[in-house]
Amino acid sequence: MAENSLKRIIPLADQRPTALAVPAAALAPSSRIHPSGLLSDTRQRPLRDLRISVTDRCNFRCSYCMPKEVFHKDYPYLPHAALLSFEEITRLTQQFVAHGVQKIRLTGGEPLLRRNLEILIQQLAALRTPDGRPLDLTLTTNGALLERKAQALKDAGLRRLTISLDSLSDTVFRAMNDVDFPVQEVLAGIAAAQRVGFSAIKINMVVKRGVNDDQIVAMARHFRGSGLVLRFIEYMDVGSSNGWRMDDVLPSSELIARLQAEMPLLRLPSNSPGETAQRWGYATADGRHDPQAGEIGVISSVTQAFCGDCNRARLSTEGQLYLCLFAQQGHDLRSLLRGGASDADLASAIGHIWGARDDHYSELRSALRAADAPARARPEMSYIGG
């Protein structure tokens, strides 16, 4: 690892913004939007995916997400009373599902730090789409607590897991999580998840040039043929605390070229509309996909915008609805919940907010100078989830 690779300039400011009030028109009976499962925004993008942050706390201090310089021992995390309760989350989720949401991802912070999370998973697993199908219920974790919690998560009804793992090198991994946590314990958590029956597991590696990009090939070799899908994510300009610079980004095109020099890869079609990852399969000598070897994914969140078919909304820990990972403000749904709003009120509010959506920051990024992009105020990833 380069000597200066973890140095960065970080603005020490709380980036939790003031929420936008839900428009009064959204609650007026004359303009009420009733859920039909066909809700679309101004760019005709449907609402299909809801990411729910259940805590703003994490037990890692990764430099690209929650650096110690900002998230120190005296950092003012949200008080418990400010967090949405499990019942509030479930009630809101019911309205999102009525509007067409099919996939729920629980995030954080580190979601496994939320006490009794299994209860929420049970509640969400019991929900059904308007045509009677269960939700695609998944969770993203850093894996630190997974070995002891995997069975309980599976028993509660969680269907899939995504596990963050930025290196197989213990030295690099400890430096990146910045709490000296050993990589072997995350690997043990992955093994535990497989052992209890999770079959759809994805491994996410955030790649930062000069920090862990020398681990790309080793990661691909390790997970090839494992039944797990490894995904490489470009280091993103999320929030304002990680000192993001374009120079630190390893473009996915360069990453694929590095892998292609070591092992043949074949481009695969997308699984579904709005999928963020570009799929690549390990290829045989005659250029065909080898299903036994599996596949990898690349999420080109900086160099290849995927705003065009983005169907994701994000619900923050304290009930703010964000329409984009890079949104500057959220919409306050908690006040409606705690102010006596009916289910019809909640559904109408969601309908009006999503219906007015025009977010496409990643498409606009290319028009910005790289030096300007990090200065754009927005909430931290630990607050609204990845």
Q: What is the CATH number of the domain that holds 299?
A: 3.20.20.70
Tally of domains in the chain: 1
pLDDT tens column, 260-284:
999 999 999 988 876 788 999 999 9
- Tell me: pLDDT of 369 over 50: no
User: 16 and 331 in contact (C-beta within 8 Å)?
Assistant: no
Query: What range does the domain containing 133 cover?
Result: 24-384
Residues whose CB is less than 8 angstroms from the CB of residue 43 and which lie 6 or more positions away in sequence, other chains included: 308, 357, 358, 360
pLDDT tens column, 174-188:
999 999 999 999 999
Assess if residue 19 is contained within a domain: no
Assess if residue 7 is contained within a domain: no
3-state secondary structure 83-143: CCCHHHHHHHHHHHHHCCCCEEEEECCCHHHCCCHHHHHHHHHCCECCCCCECEEEEEECC
Assess if residue 6 is contained within a domain: no
Within 10 angstroms of residue 168's Cβ, the number of other Cβ atoms is 19
Q: Give this prediction's pTM.
A: 0.90
Single-letter residue type at 308: G
Assess if residue 10 is contained within a domain: no
Assess if residue 3 is contained within a domain: no
Using the structure block, give the residue that is written with the tokens 């043990």.
188
- Tell me: pLDDT of 8 over 50: no
Within 10 angstroms of residue 354's Cβ, the number of other Cβ atoms is 24
- Tell me: pLDDT of 6 over 60: no
> What integer pLDDT is reported at residue 303 of this predicted model?
84
Assess if residue 268 is contained within a domain: yes
Compute the average pLDDT of residues 119-128. Answer: 98
> What integer pLDDT is reported at residue 34 of this predicted model?
95
Assess if residue 13 is contained within a domain: no
